Amino acid sequence: MIQANQVLIKTANSVDAARGDESEGERQLNAFVRLRFALVRGFLWGWASLFSLKGLYLLGQAFGTLEYWTNFRRRTRYRQAIKRIYPEGLDQRTIRNYTRSYFRRTRCDKMYYLIFDKLPREKLLRRFRFQGREHFDEALERGAGMYLMASHNGSHYVLGQLIALLGYQIAGLRDRNEGVARTYIQQKMAETFPQIAECFRMYFADSYPRLIYRHFQNNQMIGSALDVNRSRGGNLKTCPVTIFGEQREFLTGTLQIALRCRAMIAQIFIVSRPNFYFRMIVKPMFFPDLEADEKLDSPERIADLMQMYADGIEAHVREHPDHLSRI
């Protein structure tokens, strides 16, 4: 490590931030919201108990089809997004199939997420396939931590919880305006699975960098989605990338810290499969030399890695168009 990074890490370790700002400003869910979630979760869990998870999946497919027929505005937005993803053009039948699959996949994933904490750990992990786990072990053997570059496509919000269930120490960065459903389920998961409460932490995206430095210095993982679609404040660093023929500004702050800490950098995706099976895909992007003294977080390197990240998202979405989330 370069000397400046050692100073930053020592400073981070001297600050008592065991939970960081994870609890600061935590959204308080009022009684009405909790009752609403409890009723919905009770119905879904009751249906799954009577008809199995496959029965719940079929129910989600039915509701998704109904939404496809009735939600004209969302259907139009998705079709417009598909045209940007496939500028070469698609026939109308293919577009209809992609659109219908998008509605069904989204509805099924939301249903499953709402009862995530009610399923036994063994059952959750049996429905989860891990492609590239060897990269996790390789990163932790190096001793400098690992940065997982996620994206807002598919059920990215379950990634951290699944990784924690496997026993890895991981922290995620989130928007301060995160939806109440995710806040509620994160609380329920921590109550049901002590391992998640111990291994998985959430910080706000605009947290003080010392928390991120600490995780890398402790040879742990950090994951965040950098493909923002709106401004999150002038204090957050961004970098222009080209994706689907458009120029966008993606966040770069965590990547810069990961490079300074010599953490291994990888891109991560999660793919939803029929009957609530999931596949996690880890693709390594950069292996910093732990012995090198040169500065790694140069603007040119960050720009190259961010464009690799954008290209990875573009290829993934073209392969799984029903996993497109930002429309």
The residue-averaged pLDDT of 136-153 equals: 93
Q: Is the pLDDT of residue 24 over 50?
A: no
Report pLDDT digits (tens) over 66-124: 999 999 999 999 999 999 999 999 999 999 999 999 999 999 999 999 999 999 999 99
Q: Is the pLDDT of residue 274 over 70?
A: yes
Token pair 């992007």 in the structure block, residue: 285
- As a whole number of angstroms, the distance between CA 198 and CA 298 comes to 35
| ∠ Cα 30 36 42 (to 5°) | 130
Q: Which residues contact 233 (CB under 8 A, 6 or more apart)?
A: 206
Q: Domain extents for the chain?
A: 3-28+121-323
User: What pTM was estimated for this model as a whole?
Assistant: 0.86
Given a contact cutoff of 8 angstroms between Cβ atoms, the answer to whether 185 and 113 are in contact is yes
Token pair 């990784």 in the structure block, residue: 163
- As a whole number of angstroms, the distance between CA 237 and CA 218 comes to 24
The percent of residues above 90 in pLDDT, for the chain, comes to 63
Report pLDDT digits (tens) over 178-207: 777 788 888 888 889 988 888 998 887 777
Mean pLDDT score of the chain: 86
Burial annotation 100-136 (CB, 10 A radius, 16+ → b, else e) = bbbbbbbbbbbbbbbbbbebeeeebeebbebebeebb
Q: What is the CA radius of gyration of the chain?
A: 20
| CA nearest neighbour of 326 among 87, 90, 156 | 156
| ∠ Cα 147 148 153 (to 5°) | 155
Q: Is the pLDDT of residue 142 over 50?
A: yes
- As a whole number of angstroms, the distance between CA 91 and CA 201 comes to 45
Token pair 């222009």 in the structure block, residue: 240
Given a contact cutoff of 8 angstroms between Cβ atoms, the answer to whether 186 and 303 are in contact is no
- As a whole number of angstroms, the distance between CA 312 and CA 265 comes to 13
pLDDT of residue 107: 96
pLDDT of residue 289: 83
pLDDT of residue 232: 56
Q: Is the pLDDT of residue 22 over 90?
A: no
Top pLDDT among 35 and 69 is at 69
pLDDT of residue 233: 56
The residue-averaged pLDDT of 143-157 equals: 92
pLDDT of residue 34: 83
Report pLDDT digits (tens) over 197-246: 889 988 877 777 888 899 999 999 999 999 876 555 556 788 999 999 89
The residue-averaged pLDDT of 32-60 equals: 93
Q: Strand, coil or helix: what is 265?
A: strand
